Structure 1
């Protein structure tokens, strides 16, 4: 993704790499799902000039009263809103695939 700075007196452009965008989306998803950005895999791909996002991540079940589905949907919405605000990317869709569900007690034992 690249853009020219409007009204900038110096020629040039800003380029945000796919890897940088993936890192931002990974951090947002991990925060919502209770994991780490390192354990969360994100891939972005071009979708007719826009971006399609695929996330693969474990979900850590907490005693917060939220279901796994609610937490996954919260992560999806966070990428759509906050991720878009932070990166300036326009997204067509965000798909999250849950790779594991771990309880709070299992997480402490690790």
Structure 2
């Protein structure tokens, strides 16, 4: 033995990549809902007697932030796991869960 410290399981390459994939899967409904909002706007008022108002620009900004957070947070979670920063790993997983829950609410599942 070289006398070096043994790495904890989440800071090894398989562990950190696994946590990154887990964070992405947990957060996946968020970017999907944001992309659906950005790509598939519901502005068609054909067949309706009332005119549908254009969506608020704040909702568009929120959708862009939601997509960015859903894609950046899993990468940061994997990086923090590789550095063995458990507090930040748990924070990243919790934030990914929050992004995922918001996405599920927007999609009408929750």
* TM-score between the two structures when normalised by the length of structure 1: 0.34
Q: Which one has more relative contact order, counting CA pairs under 8 Å at least 6 apart? A: 2
Larger radius of gyration: 2
* TM-score between the two structures when normalised by the length of structure 2: 0.34
Quick check: which one's helix share is greater?
Answer: 2
Quick check: which one's strand share is greater?
Answer: 1
